[in-house]
Amino acid sequence: MSGKPAARVSDPTACPLPGHATNPIAAGSGDVFFDGLPAARQGDASACGGAMSGALATTVLINGKPAATVDSVGTHGNIVTGGSGTVIIGNSHSPAAFVPPLPLIIPGFDEQFALTDEAGAPIVNRRYLLVREDGTQEEGITNDAGLTHRLARHERAEKVEVYVAAGS
């Protein structure tokens, strides 16, 4: 585990001063709660009076103060020994690996045609006329691979008539 459980009011601390023993954190945030209990921060005291002062989280601030976690230390040398079972605070950053997005495929039709002769060779630099189902006409000249221009994207399949100018 890369982090530690967050400390809260009522979580135990073990104080080394004579007669202090184990006692709960007694003060915490008035508006940040973990598991329904106020979050403990730098300066918040345990019942023995030892305020949280060392081994605090360096990456999480609660009300502008570093968060206390299990193993945080108070001014009496008291150590937080218990914390949240659901909130873990870490001091290191472990970024996830970058996963590139999948290509965006927009549905629809945007065909072009490869014009070939009887032998399968491309018909290059030849004038053509495309007549779409709605009667719209598009014309052009095939490229070096015998391809027409790409028809504008439309939502459904349609019949297209292709007329090729006679060769010389």
For the ranges 24-28, 102-106, 120-124, which has the lowest average pLDDT? 102-106
How is 71-125 classified by DSSP, letter by letter? T-EETTS-EE----SS-EEESS--PPPP-PPPPP---SB----B-B-TTS-B--S
Q: According to CATH, what is the number of the domain 1-91? A: 2.60.200.60
The pLDDT, as a whole number, for residue 168 is 60
How do residues 67-103 score in pLDDT, each as one tens digit? 999 999 999 999 999 999 999 998 776 778 888 888 8
Instruction: With a cut of 60, say whether residue 1 has pLDDT above it.
Output: no
Instruction: With a cut of 90, say whether residue 157 has pLDDT above it.
Output: no
pTM of the model: 0.55
d(CA 84, CA 40): 11
Stretch 142-146: mean pLDDT, rounded? 95
Dihedral sign (CA 49, 53, 58, 61): positive
